[in-house]
Structure 1
């Protein structure tokens, strides 16, 4: 990440550069995965009366992006959009604002117990999917896929910490 923006590397392999068909295949596969994730997470978001992005914000806050400025930079949206989303999530009882313990000028965002419930329900549904539908994919293949996606994105490690690791 450079200056709050993700930098992307070029797509090439040992044989040569990817052609247009390879890029279209890649984009199609990424969109298929995104659709699959949405199909699993949108129902949870709707059960709690929030948007899919709102659910993502709950995950990001839990992972440590606990200030509005960090969220708007990571999601590449306007600060007013994040403020509105946070307000909706607070109204839904999923997040709360708290003053920083070290700097009273800083407001931090925390996940409430209800927010943790929505996150756990999403993770449970994703876990069920991986257990039932992706049983034919070995853990090593999943790790290789993650590494390949990181390589293609030009971001070798997620800027968002994984609180489960």
Structure 2
């Protein structure tokens, strides 16, 4: 994944040893530092897989969300809630997807204040190709089998729930 050579030791575990000696118990620091590093690794892998398809992860997530919609359309407000993004970020994502011809905005049939977003045929084709690319690299989760992935998801869900992401 990376062009740089791996270190001959785990720098996070070395930092944890030093933390133990100088500050106190290092479990939380090592866990958080590991999550942050893994986030960098995953973003790099996913961005590399999506770049040839002209997508960022945020735009890819928006297309996936639209593909899951029962009607094929979602209000921008709902997209923001489901993607857990500020309305301005959703607007920017949709603007970019629309400029690339992957989505279109349509007026809501009964609420003049609401704009719906729907994927175009080109968007569906791009989503299919991009999905093949990210699933082909397992979203960057090298080294974890299915059970490990389930456990990781469960553990991270506890943190997300405690932070108020969901009830």
Would you say same fold, with TM above 0.5?
A: yes
User: Partners in 2 of 1:23 and 1:139 — Cα distance?
Assistant: 23
| Kept in 2: contact 1:54–1:89 (CA 8 A) | yes
Counterpart of 2:76 in structure 1 is: 68
User: Partners in 2 of 1:127 and 1:151 — Cα distance?
Assistant: 25
| Kept in 2: contact 1:44–1:122 (CA 8 A) | yes
Matching residue within 99, 114, 122 for 1:106: 114
Counterpart of 2:6 in structure 1 is: none
- Which has more radius of gyration? 2
| Bigger RCO of structures 1 and 2 (CA < 8 A, at least 6 apart) | 1
With structure 2 as the length reference, what TM-score do the two structures score? 0.63
Counterpart of 1:56 in structure 2 is: 61
Aligned residues: 137
Q: Are residues 1:90 and 2:98 paired? A: yes
CA separation of 1:97 and 1:145: change in aligned 2, threshold 3 A: same
| Kept in 2: contact 1:67–1:108 (CA 8 A) | yes
Gaps of 5+ in 2: 1-24
User: Partners in 1 of 2:56 and 2:26 — Cα distance?
Assistant: 38
After superposition, where does 1:14-163 map in structure 2 within 5 Å?
18-45=27-54, 51-64=56-69, 66-73=74-81, 74-79=83-88, 81-130=89-138, 134=142, 137-154=144-161
How far 1:22 moved relative to its partner?
A: 2.7
Gaps of 5+ in 1: 1-15, 160-165
How far 1:86 moved relative to its partner?
A: 2.0
- Report the structure, 1 or 2, having the larger helix content: 2
CA RMSD of aligned residues (A): 3.4
With structure 1 as the length reference, what TM-score do the two structures score? 0.64
